[in-house]
Amino acid sequence: MADHYFSAEPGSADVRRTVEARIWGKPYTFTTATGVFSRDRLDIGTAVLLREVEPPTGSGTFLDLGCGYGPIACALAVETDATVWAVDVNTRALELTGVNAKAAGVADRVHAVLPDGVPDELRFDAIWSNPAIHIGKPELHKMLLRWLARLAPGGDAWLVVGKNLGGDSLQRWMTDQGYPCERVGSAKGFRVLHATTP
């Protein structure tokens, strides 16, 4: 069976390469590999999210949900003094996030872990995510509810979802779940959503 980027242990050979990206005006070189999401470039959805939303400032505790090889997590840590938890089910992606955080000089503030590796008491000032829509709607909703519940009071969630993959219906669903959600950007077939705590 072919690997999915949401496979826990990719069975494909770990063939690595580097990709160049520019995020919030700064250049990055990321190490990627087979068996992880968008290994050949910064994926369009993530690029749209990072272009449509201004970088945060200051400190706090952030979550990069479905971090892949870590471009969002690394950029958040570079731009701020925040601690960033980078969560994924793919162990190869988590290893690469660690490699990329070290290359970006922020390894001390980027914690790449499996979902159950996040301390139970931790609350997040912001969640950033290009969520794995292809896991299916029931699993997607379950995942989002798990992590949205861990937003601190006044916290924000920034998500990017393809319009043809249910971006508009997800916006309505999040609002219905008690997390007021608005569309703050739209480009290249993607919706950028901003949700807040009740």
Q: What is the pLDDT along the chain (198 residues), one digit of tens a residue?
A: 333 444 445 556 666 778 889 999 999 999 888 667 665 667 888 999 999 999 999 899 999 999 999 999 999 999 999 999 999 998 989 999 999 999 999 999 999 999 999 999 999 999 999 987 777 788 889 999 999 999 999 999 999 988 665 557 888 899 999 999 999 988 888 889 999 997
Chain centroid, CA 8 distance in Å: 16
CB 86 within 8 A of CB 144: no
Domains of the chain and any CATH numbers: 16-196 (3.40.50.150)
Provide the total of helices (H) and of strands (E) in the chain, helices listed first: 5, 9
User: Residue 39 in 3-state DSSP?
Assistant: coil
Token pair recorded at residue 186: 């739209």
Q: Is the pTM of this model over 0.75?
A: yes
110-113/181-187 β-pairing: unpaired
Three-state DSSP state, 14: coil
